[in-house]
Amino acid sequence: MDFIAVGDTVVDEFITLKEAQVHCDVNHEDCTISMQWGAKIPYESSALVPGVGNAANAAVAAARLGLSSGFVSNVGRDRFGEEILATFTHEGVDTSYVAVNDGLPTNHHYVLSYDSERTILIRHEAYPYLLPEALIPPKWLYLSSVGEHADEFHDEIAKWFKEHPETKLAFQPGTFQIKLGKERLVELYAVTELVAVNKEEAERILETDETDIKTLLEKMRALGPKTVLITDGRNGAYSFDGIEMLKIPLYPDSRPPRERTGAGDAMSSTIVAALALGLPLRDALLWGPVNAMAVVQETGAQKGLLTRDALLQFLADAPAEYRITPV
């Protein structure tokens, strides 16, 4: 198999707000959203989207790009779990490594959307996290968000990679993995081929107030990964493989974004998918922003994900300024 994603999957319930106030600092950062406490607040719409989550989005992205894709995860034996499995089957993602758990519900998150941005209320169930004994080593394994109960799971993964050097690890740390700290995950970072984070996550992982992108790239790579990818919102993304520091611009939006859930997942997983297809890093980096652009045109993290033909057409139509530059 080309690509296997590992991590939690959830049902996302999107609630699009009508009335709220956003407050940001002078740099339009550190924004907060407020609503009247104790009131009945009208909302514009709601939608239930099964089979999402960082790793789940990556598995679907890889499948749509033509890779053989599988998923290692957990669901509950309930309606939402059935919907998630059906979603992956429809997308062509192998679900044979997805465990169905009795007595535990399927993860259910709530996404509050307002003015193209979103805040996600999350809860990860205490699943038994294990790598399947029959796991066939793929070209790439893509690890992302798991619950706070999966501490020792990371040791198991690090050990597995030492025994299977033929597989490359992409690591997109989730909320609880970042909270574990870089010292706790030192063995995992040491076997990582590519780590993907946003700028704020890099600062939290490194426990630093440093904001210079070159310094962040160097310090993230010093943790052990061979290649570092740092996304920085509207500033695009940056990579460092120990030789070159490169900047990747955003691909121009074809229309105003609807909401930004899944943009980072699309960026990171598409770059890894391109690497799994055999592209060199410079070419793979150009694939990521195209899928990220497409995802934000739709509600949810997967609806806008492109097929390979569609993505290649966007690249063929890209403006001259869409190119890799040195940092």
CA end-to-end span of the chain: 35
Domain ranges of the chain: 3-9+52-105+132-326
CATH of domain 3-9+52-105+132-326: 3.40.1190.20
pTM of the model: 0.90
Confidence at 261, pLDDT banded by 50, 70, 90: confident
Q: Per-residue confidence at 287, pLDDT binned at 50, 70, 90?
A: very high
pLDDT digits (tens, 9 = 90+) for 173-187: 999 999 999 999 999
Cα(173)–Cα(197) distance, integer angstroms: 7
Burial class (CB in 10 A: 0-12, 13-18, 19+), 96: exposed
Q: What is the distance between the alpha carbons of residues 224 and 187, in angstroms, rounded to a whole number?
A: 9
* High-pLDDT (> 90) share of the chain, %: 80
What angle separates helix 281-295 from helix 263-276, to the nearest 10 degrees?
150
pLDDT of residue 256 exceeding 80, the answer is no
Place of tokens 């922003």: 289
pLDDT digits (tens, 9 = 90+) for 1-32: 999 999 999 998 989 898 788 889 877 778 88
How much is the average pLDDT of 237-265?
Answer: 89
* 47-51, 111-115, 215-219: which is most confident: 215-219
Tokens read off for 143: 């690890």
| pLDDT reported for residue 30 | 80
